[in-house]
Structure 1
Amino acid sequence: YGDLVAAMHLLITTKRSAPADDLTSFLLAAREEGEESLNEHELVSTLLLMIGGGSQTTINLLDHTVRELLARPDQLGILRADPARWDDAVEESLRVHCPVMHLPMRWAKEDIDLGEGVVIRAGDAILICYGAHGRDPGVHRDPETFDIDREDKDHIAFGLGAHFCPGSHLARLEARIALPALFDRFPRLALAVGPEDVPPGQTFIGNDISSLPVFLRHK
């Protein structure tokens, strides 16, 4: 982590002396010219957030989708026969395998009345689960099953309202390009372990897969 923070400080120093058409330069300009400036810590934190939010989350989306499709060759065959349907696979993966499962813990500063007799008391811990809606049996039939033909693929994997992920379009585009490219490049790709044996990551915040063992040219 220390090396990454040092790299961000070096990036800031470099872009301050030689700005270009990139997001780091934009953040620096907003810091120096805008009414609400960012201090050095905020700049570094924002850059780290962009790296984490723009990489690991998309990796999670790709990993889960690949695992599900390799475990369901019939659905993979449908996608290969009709490439226009890759969007269905991406949205279904976002529904059942939300890339960020939980929001880090928060605590209520005061009583919060949610209605219907539900009150969060001051001091209570609050853990928001982004993945809950997509797996809610009251919303989705057989919610834990990956099915590209499912009509309702509603999810909140990218958040909602003012907190909707600004990178959602890029994430969908990356998945829409990367997934068919992978299966076109390795048409005999196969899981080297059972889908239930793919090891999960060691965090309850991100919905990670720690490794995805595959055979690239399975016979």
Structure 2
Amino acid sequence: MTNAQPTNTEPTKTQPTVRSCPFDPPEEYRALREQDPVAPVTFPDGTAGWLVTRYDDVRAVLSDPRFSAKRGILRPGAPEGEDVPAPPPPGMFIMMDAPEHTRFRRLLTGQFTVRRMRQLTPAVEKIVAEQLDAMAAAEGPVDLVQTFALPIPSLVICELLGVPYADREEFQRNSATIIRLNSSPEEFRQAQAAMRGFIHQLVLAKREDPTDDILSDLVRSGELTDEELTGVGVLLLIAGHETTANMIALSTMCLLRNPGQLAALRADPSLMDGAVEELLRYLSIIQFGVRRTALEDVELHGRQIKEGSTVVASVSSGNRDTAHFADDPELLDLARSQSAHLAFGHGIHQCLGQQLARAEMKAALSALLDRFPTLRLAVPVDQVPMRDDMLVYGVHELPVTW
């Protein structure tokens, strides 16, 4: 659909996407924060809109109900029958606003409490230990993504949802197609249909024979249709392994490239909780930001954002904002005094599984560094294939040895 254009006469910039360092957002974000924090831009998909780059403004956009999470908001003035907005797919609550979003969030919040994630920690640590055993048996070099970073969150989310891990190759392949930037429309539709079909069959099985997992609990609640259960399952399955897998792999690469910080962490394992928060802030793997649509005219930093305009809140830029982070936020500092970061978003759509992600990252990084004290990259850093082509940033492969 067509969104409203920025209402000013200056030419729009193109959203920065090229990184000079694999761990940093594009350098242009620094100038945008200082000089043009609400900038008219053209996004990678060709949409014109507004790019928000300062920490406080990102929080404001993500918590303001005047900015909708829905896709396909009809722009004002469109001819009748043109650009008719499609409703969000059933169960895809990240594309919904209150009160529709609230109904799903309420059902799921109890599944991801801090207490439940702490109870899950021993199971996560067992999975981590098993993957490390497999790595050690391979004797290196190995691809850390395939042997360690990807299996851990995949196994955990499969256990939580009640998804057979034996089917991982299918859902991982389809998941990658869905979030790949250069997937054709047909490839995207096929992957999406395959994921929905896979989860739909699982939902039907849970209705017949519920077990001890999230999907079964949602079935027992009686509040969701099969189509809604399918959408929720697809969303949790993709989000539950893609984001954490890439954080584990990219964090490992980042630590190996910052030997002073790595040495401090090895010398004092009590730094790990803070290290996880700092890595989440510093790396911010939601690559292009969080998209919203203005439901009405809104003024932000003197910019008149018209109803129907696309607004993208750059989480990675906000997490490097010197106005919020007192010590140089361009530096990785595992002992940094903690200040709330935006890696999990903000507002009612803040990541539901953030406590699970923290538990998985802490268990994985702690055990990996302990088990392999001489861990190192097996290739030059410039030969590591980065996920510039994906909505979720990270590495496609990470060859390591010890």
**TM-score relative to the length of structure 1:** 0.85
Q: Does 2:219 align with 1:28? A: yes
Aligned length: 210
2:312 alignment partner in structure 1: 127
1:202, 1:11 → 2: CA distance? 33
Given the superposition, is the C-alpha separation of residues 70 and 173 from structure 1 closer, same or farther in structure 2, using an over 3 Å criterion?
Answer: same
2:134 alignment partner in structure 1: none
Amino acid at match of 2:296: E
2:279, 2:230 → 1: CA distance? 31
1:182 alignment partner in structure 2: 368
1:213, 1:94 → 2: CA distance? 22
Greater relative CO, 1 or 2 (CA 8 Å, sep 6+): 2
| Identity among equivalent pairs (%) | 37
Q: For 1:39-61, what per-residue CA distance to the aligned partner results, in whole angstroms no more than 9, with x for missing partners?
A: 33322111111112211111121
Given the superposition, is the C-alpha separation of residues 50 and 104 from structure 1 closer, same or farther in structure 2, using an over 3 Å criterion?
Answer: same
**Does structure 2 retain, via aligned residues, the 8 Å contact 1:198–1:209?**
yes
1:111, 1:184 → 2: CA distance? 54
SS at match of 2:228: helix
**Does structure 2 retain, via aligned residues, the 8 Å contact 1:65–1:89?**
no
2:356, 2:295 → 1: CA distance? 35
The farther-off stretch of 45-54 and 193-202 is 193-202
1:96 alignment partner in structure 2: 282
Q: For 1:111-139, what per-residue CA distance to the aligned partner results, in whole angstroms no more than 9, with x for missing partners?
A: 1233x423211232211222222112333
2:334, 2:382 → 1: CA distance? 19
SS at match of 1:174: helix
1:213, 1:121 → 2: CA distance? 48
Given the superposition, is the C-alpha separation of residues 109 and 153 from structure 1 closer, same or farther in structure 2, using an over 3 Å criterion?
Answer: closer
2:290, 2:365 → 1: CA distance? 30
1:165 aligns with one of 341, 347, 351: 351
List runs of 5+ in structure 2 lacking aligned partners: 1-190
2:290, 2:344 → 1: CA distance? 15
Shift of 1:196: 4.9
List runs of 5+ in structure 1 lacking aligned partners: none
In the TM superposition, structure 1's runs of 4+ consecutive aligned residues that sit over 4 Å from their partners are none
**TM-score relative to the length of structure 2:** 0.48
2:337 alignment partner in structure 1: 151
**Does structure 1 retain, via aligned residues, the 8 Å contact 2:274–2:338?**
no
1:5 alignment partner in structure 2: 196
Q: Does 2:267 align with 1:81? A: yes
Shift of 1:161: 3.1
RMSD (Å), alpha carbons: 2.2
1:117 alignment partner in structure 2: 302
